[in-house]
Structure 1
Amino acid sequence: MIALTLRQRNIIEYLLSRDSYVTNDVIASNFEVSNRTVRKDLEVISAYLKEQGISLVRKPGKGVWIEDKQEVLFDDLSCSYSKNERIVIYVTSLLLNDVNTFMTLASNCGVSKQTVINDLNTIEKFLDGYHLSLIKNQGVGTSLEGDETDIRRLFIDLLFTNDHSKIVYELCINNDGIQRNLDVSFELITVIENEFRFRYVDRDRISIVLSFLLNRLGLMKTKNSTIQSSDMERINSILSTKISDSNDQEYISSFLLGERVEGSLTLDSKVEDEANEISEHLISSLKKIHYFDSEDMKDIIRSLTVHVRAAIYRCRNNIHIRNELDEQVRFAIGVMYEFTKKELNVYETKYNLNFDQSEISYIALYLASIFETGVQEDLKVVIMIVCTFGLATSSILKSRMYQIFGDCFIVGPYSIEEAEKYLESHEVDLIISTNYMSVKSTNVIYINPLLKQNDIEMIRNTLFQESFMKMCSLFFNKNKVVEHDYHCLGEYISKNDVSISKGKISWEDAIRKAAAPLVAKGDIENKYVNTMIQAVNEFGTYMVITPKVAYVHAGKDDGVNKNCVSLLLLENEIPFGSFNTKPVIAIVVLGICDKEESQLLNIANILDIPENIELLKNSKNIESILSLHD
């Protein structure tokens, strides 16, 4: 019997809900994984369905389809958990119940008692990261031991920031102890929301946390809050109707003040207010790169200020916020992430703050939205339609393109000859063609003249990346106006960390070769290299933030020991990525350990200059590469 992972089960349920074929691209987009992962999942799903006498039909250009849908029973779908998922389930069970037997833990995961015993070392290592211990009482069961603050922090992290938080949520909702206090939790939250005239963004999860904390009243031994404010006093007053212990009141108040809200947070309008000052600095810095009218964006700027204040509370109370888009932000809008990180650093020092990756990512999303709104017209992609199927078909194609992609500039439809003539005097960002045509400098997508669903998805993905590239280029061009000093690559990359590759090479091997000098010195580990490759497979080619150059990196917990940079120049241009490929001639590897010292923006400012890319192509030695300057 083939066992399915949770994602594979969800893919089957998704396919059963659809009335037509679904492409791999659509599945990958919905489940936020790569095409390669989807292909592997579909192989397992196909084998599983075959055991039930059901076919997974595949048609080129259309996608996949499950025949005999009525024969697939949801209750019969065999779901197995990965080891990481099992560890999360074990630990959540230990948090929710005072004592757990091995058989109870095994039952929760659908595994044998022996599997739980085999997983014990991993469970203990996981708990050790929170300074907690696993206590085994023979004939009774297992339980957690440690400081109450660490127990509470672990629960909040699992529910909000863990990769498997959905599993944690389901376990909590079905737990009797959590259910017992949910009504009281919702009541307290409603009173607080009415008092402050806002609404919590993640109300259900906050209610679960509050219910969990109500189960553990009186166990706090020391005060944890470093903030004394009128907001906290107001929340303490509301909590005192149900909670008598002042330590518990202050802990829960700091948690509630740290959560994301919609609406007003009664911000202090004084200039010295830290959140206002940080927000004003971020907006002022962004205006230097691209001017915009603050009045036109006052709503989103107000939301940014509210978020910054909540982030300050979280920083000072060691509360971690869940940001499901954290990795995607760092890869997909890495330029804005680096800009945000750099600008926040000034106030981290001034106010003794330390914004983590999730906080920086959220703030970067606000700034990206402001920047993109301000340069909206400049980000519009110019699309050329090339169609040789006659006037009627060309008209239908153009009409459909306008309906679906009306926010782009569309020229054509042209014949191949007309298109070539147009390109002699005009520039376009993307060519949509029904026939093969040879174009060196512009991306061409070949489509069915009637524009099928998989064509639409492919165009949409490409347009998003083209628009992103335009935003990056605009960001760098405007940033050059702000920065007047000249800097060369040699200031950021040492001679021993630059190499030139001859002959054909895959993009994966190019990353490995680019990273080799850093691995040899121990600056990064092989794990870091593998994570960079995995990131490209998962998130696509957003790392190509300047033309022809990919900037690859991983997270600070992925095996980086020192801030470092290396560069590989490719003698032959290669397609970069496993889908939505982009041509590159150079790979820049960034080892980011200390967030204050990332060189991504500095190097990208140099390599975004078209003349430098031409010089890079023709470079024969490392000295000429390092002499390139902004």
Structure 2
Amino acid sequence: MKLDNRSNKLLEELISNPSVTSKDIEQKYGLTRRQLGYSITKINEWLTDEKLPEIQRTKKGFFIIDQSVFTTFSKGETSKQEDTSILSEEHRMHMILMMLLSKEDLSLVHFTSELKVSKNTILSDLKQAQQFISNYGLTVRYTRRDGYVLDGEEFQIRKLLLHVLEKILRLKNGAELLSRLVDIKAAEVKEITQRIESVEKKLNLKFTDDRMATMPYSLILVTRRIKKGNLIRAFYIKYEELSDTKQYHATEEILYDVADIPMEERLFITLYLLTTNVYWSEFLTEEAIPNLMEALDDMLRLFERRAVISIRDREQLLNKLLLHVKPAYYRIKYQLAELHDMQHTVSQEFMELHHLVKKSTEPLAELIGMPIPESETTYLTMLIGGWLSKQGDSIQEKTKAIVVCPKGISVSRLMYSQLKELFPEFIFLDTLSVREFQQYPFAYDLVFSPIALETDKKLFITSSFMETEEKARLRKQVMLEVHGYIASDLDVEEILAIVQNHAEITNEVQLSKDLYRYLHRDEADAIRKQRDKEPAMTLADFITPETITLRDSASSWEAALKVGAAPLIRKGAIDSAYVEAMVGEEEKDPYIVIGPNLAIPHATPEDGVNDVSMSLLRLKKGVAFTEDYSIQLIFIIAAVDKKKHLKALMQLMRLAGNEADQKALIEATDKETVVNIIQKYATN
């Protein structure tokens, strides 16, 4: 009798550590109580064959081993092993799925014989497998005639096949295990590998080593399914999108001996080749995906702005990104496969970098039409992070700040915009509510907030809207705290001398002027000039007699929103869906109250905004908003971007700080009185 590998390992564990308990072994080897019992039975059967006493177990889980067993092992008489591994429940599930994907007429006997576990264990594993494949829209079905089979769309079965194959090949000796499990001969692997190498020559590229290790098995198993008649019947990828690619024509190298190959199967193999990672390509821009390079360039520029970094040799980095993103484009768009799960490989050093990269992938997500998966974002982080290290840059050395505002999205964005312009040298990671701040996972150095917060970082209390003097005062305070100096104290000549030691200056006079202008600039004037470039609408431009509604009361918050939004719906500025979205925002963002009786409900532009607009509903008797507030002034805001309504919002913030004018609005008997009060704030 031969001992399987698991039983042999357990016997060696018991001999070397006789005081070990059942619970210790279960935890160390990831075994269930039933699996351990099964192995002990096998060990005892082997000991009986060897004419040795069986191992006994006590009620407390200890093992009693006869001295003759120790003596036998001390002489070097070890058991003979089969070439199998100790498999976890997850590994067994993957092996069961691979058998279902590759074999027919399967019964419980086939599974128990292959995996060396009991029928009950297999039944439990099958339940786990069913739960897992439900994500693919697949089911495991059993009949007496067919045994265990997979049911579902063939395209989803192919996705499952590629996923399970990856998992098994990542095991130690995974290739040998897979070849034995589904009967793949070495000659088959060699033949298909040669075809892939021929494809590499046709495409003028080199696939990555890990892809080359996987592709032969993937293509062998896929072509087997094709030959058995397991075909993709309906394919949602348009022929025109893939048929002009070199990969489409290269499929002939792989499928030349498969008769009557349907068009859908050619497209599938083409897609598989397109989604496969490469580490070198002679023609990066050939057959480029329309606008992909532009999207990558936009992504990189967004990242540079957020990380306050200038990337050198950006063309080289863009080409490196393109090499990865071209296959990723098809992986993401058609959800055929993903990279290995990499989010846990992001070290603490790269957590904030990963966050900034993730926030910068909007152009790429917009081009593909789908969010960028975490695994792909992680890989982009590694590429960009490696490039920054190469050029000697790190965001760890930069000052990182967050903005914490309890007054809702619009006010938070206003604060964020002001502070980012005021401190262009800082990395602003996020704008957060108080609750988000309490659970914020990333490292930062500074916190800006209108309220006191419990934090061990430097906290700067600032108002939601800052006047010119406050901005200048805040910048001086922050620069003294962070760097120990104020910019205006710097000497231009000393800076020029330092620059001359490390770089060649082509126009010293102009550089001196530019440095002086920057170091002695008035921050508030610079910000105002920048903002003046954009058309700025005032509060009076929005709040007009047509957008004002005067009522005594409203039956509920929802009813108040409908009444307040009615003028904007009539003029076509918003759709009715925007009102429903604002109602939904109440639960997600209760911090829209910016004054004792004043609220600014809003939603996102995508929820139904056609034009930037605002309206005012005045209620003499307040309407309940949550349990804490009774609101009498409701300014509904519908924004199309982050800029056009900001000046009006700043003016509204000043109104929120004036109790006398709020009271006058509440008591107003006509719209003209309201307009006159609003006009006071529209001139600043």
- Distance in 2 (CA, whole Å) between partners of 1:52 and 1:168 is 38
Q: CA deviation at 1:102?
A: 0.7
**Who is 1:135 aligned against?**
141
Conservation of the 8 A alpha-carbon contact between 2:96 and 2:111: yes
Residue 207 (structure 2) pairs with residue 200 (structure 1) = yes
Residue 448 (structure 2) pairs with residue 493 (structure 1) = no
Residue 246 (structure 2) pairs with residue 234 (structure 1) = no
Deviations 1:458-500 (Å, cap 9, x if unpaired)?
Answer: xxxxxxxxxxxxx4343738999993268999951246x777x
Conservation of the 8 A alpha-carbon contact between 2:130 and 2:139: yes
Indicate which of 86, 91, 94 corresponds to 2:92.
86
Residue 545 (structure 2) pairs with residue 545 (structure 1) = no
Residue 165 (structure 2) pairs with residue 151 (structure 1) = no
- Distance in 2 (CA, whole Å) between partners of 1:3 and 1:302 is 51
Deviations 1:211-248 (Å, cap 9, x if unpaired)?
Answer: 01110115121234343233243324444523432211
Indicate which of 232, 242, 257 corresponds to 1:220.
232
Deviations 1:531-567 (Å, cap 9, x if unpaired)?
Answer: xxxxxxxxxxxx6634799xxxxxxxxxxxxxxxxx9
Q: CA deviation at 1:184?
A: 4.0
Conservation of the 8 A alpha-carbon contact between 1:131 and 1:146: yes
Q: CA deviation at 1:301?
A: 4.0
User: SS of the residue aligned with 1:472?
Assistant: helix
Indicate which of 327, 337, 354 corresponds to 2:344.
327
Conservation of the 8 A alpha-carbon contact between 1:292 and 1:374: no
Q: 1:250 to 1:85 in 2, by over 3 A?
A: same
**Who is 2:323 aligned against?**
306
Q: CA deviation at 1:277?
A: 1.8
Conservation of the 8 A alpha-carbon contact between 1:192 and 1:238: yes
Conservation of the 8 A alpha-carbon contact between 2:400 and 2:446: no
- Distance in 1 (CA, whole Å) between partners of 2:179 and 2:188 is 11
Per chain length, whose mean CA-contact separation is higher, i.e. which structure has more relative contact order (CA < 8 Å, sep 6+)?
1
Residue 105 (structure 2) pairs with residue 99 (structure 1) = yes
User: SS of the residue aligned with 2:421?
Assistant: coil
Conservation of the 8 A alpha-carbon contact between 1:290 and 1:478: no
- Distance in 1 (CA, whole Å) between partners of 2:288 and 2:480 is 43
Alignment of 1:599-610 (within 5 A): none
Which amino acid letter does the alignment assign opposite residue 124 of structure 2?
N
Q: CA deviation at 1:174?
A: 2.2
- Distance in 2 (CA, whole Å) between partners of 1:210 and 1:308 is 23
Q: CA deviation at 1:136?
A: 1.3
Which amino acid letter does the alignment assign opposite residue 234 of structure 2?
T
Superposition RMSD in Å: 5.3
Conservation of the 8 A alpha-carbon contact between 2:232 and 2:265: yes
- Distance in 1 (CA, whole Å) between partners of 2:224 and 2:325 is 31
User: SS of the residue aligned with 1:267?
Assistant: coil
Deviations 1:240-280 (Å, cap 9, x if unpaired)?
Answer: 52343221111011011111012116232699843322332
Identity %: 15
Residue 308 (structure 2) pairs with residue 263 (structure 1) = no
Conservation of the 8 A alpha-carbon contact between 2:339 and 2:375: yes
- Distance in 2 (CA, whole Å) between partners of 1:157 and 1:484 is 47
Q: CA deviation at 1:609?
A: 10
Structure 1 spans left out of the alignment, 5+ residues: 17-36, 56-66, 380-470, 500-513, 516-542, 550-566, 571-583, 587-607, 613-622, 624-630
Q: 1:332 to 1:215 in 2, by over 3 A?
A: farther
Q: CA deviation at 1:611?
A: 6.0
Indicate which of 164, 184, 192 corresponds to 1:185.
192
Q: 1:139 to 1:346 in 2, by over 3 A?
A: closer
Q: 1:111 to 1:191 in 2, by over 3 A?
A: same
Q: 1:4 to 1:270 in 2, by over 3 A?
A: closer
**Who is 1:476 aligned against?**
400
Conservation of the 8 A alpha-carbon contact between 1:159 and 1:169: no
Which amino acid letter does the alignment assign opposite residue 223 of structure 1?
F
Conservation of the 8 A alpha-carbon contact between 1:96 and 1:175: no
Q: 1:192 to 1:259 in 2, by over 3 A?
A: same
**Who is 2:530 aligned against?**
none
Conservation of the 8 A alpha-carbon contact between 1:106 and 1:112: yes
Structure with the greater alpha carbon radius of gyration: 2
**Who is 1:119 aligned against?**
125
Q: 1:351 to 1:475 in 2, by over 3 A?
A: farther
Deviations 1:399-419 (Å, cap 9, x if unpaired)?
Answer: xxxxxxxxxxxxxxxxxxxxx
Q: 1:335 to 1:167 in 2, by over 3 A?
A: farther
User: SS of the residue aligned with 2:396?
Assistant: helix
Which amino acid letter does the alignment assign opposite residue 420 of structure 2?
E
Q: CA deviation at 1:161?
A: 6.3
Alignment of 1:238-253 (within 5 A): 238-239=253-254, 241-243=256-258, 244-253=261-270
Deviations 1:428-450 (Å, cap 9, x if unpaired)?
Answer: xxxxxxxxxxxxxxxxxxxxxxx
Q: CA deviation at 1:176?
A: 4.8
Which amino acid letter does the alignment assign opposite residue 472 of structure 1?
Q
- Distance in 2 (CA, whole Å) between partners of 1:52 and 1:361 is 55
Residue 361 (structure 2) pairs with residue 344 (structure 1) = yes
Conservation of the 8 A alpha-carbon contact between 1:161 and 1:321: no
- Distance in 2 (CA, whole Å) between partners of 1:353 and 1:51 is 64
Return the TM-score normalized by structure 2.
0.47
Which amino acid letter does the alignment assign opposite residue 362 of structure 2?
N
Deviations 1:363-393 (Å, cap 9, x if unpaired)?
Answer: 11101111222225xx6xxxxxxxxxxxxxx
Select between 126-135 and 181-190 the one with higher mean Cα deviation: 181-190
Which amino acid letter does the alignment assign opposite residue 492 of structure 1?
L
User: SS of the residue aligned with 2:221?
Assistant: helix
User: SS of the residue aligned with 1:86?
Assistant: helix
- Distance in 2 (CA, whole Å) between partners of 1:51 and 1:3 is 22
Which amino acid letter does the alignment assign opposite residue 224 of structure 2?
N
- Distance in 2 (CA, whole Å) between partners of 1:273 and 1:134 is 41
- Distance in 2 (CA, whole Å) between partners of 1:185 and 1:472 is 47
Which amino acid letter does the alignment assign opposite residue 483 of structure 1?
K
Conservation of the 8 A alpha-carbon contact between 1:199 and 1:262: yes
User: SS of the residue aligned with 1:333?
Assistant: helix
- Distance in 1 (CA, whole Å) between partners of 2:75 and 2:204 is 48
Deviations 1:304-341 (Å, cap 9, x if unpaired)?
Answer: 21111111121222222332533222866222222222
Q: CA deviation at 1:205?
A: 0.6
Q: CA deviation at 1:359?
A: 1.2
- Distance in 2 (CA, whole Å) between partners of 1:186 and 1:545 is 47
User: SS of the residue aligned with 2:346?
Assistant: helix
Paired residues in the alignment total: 388
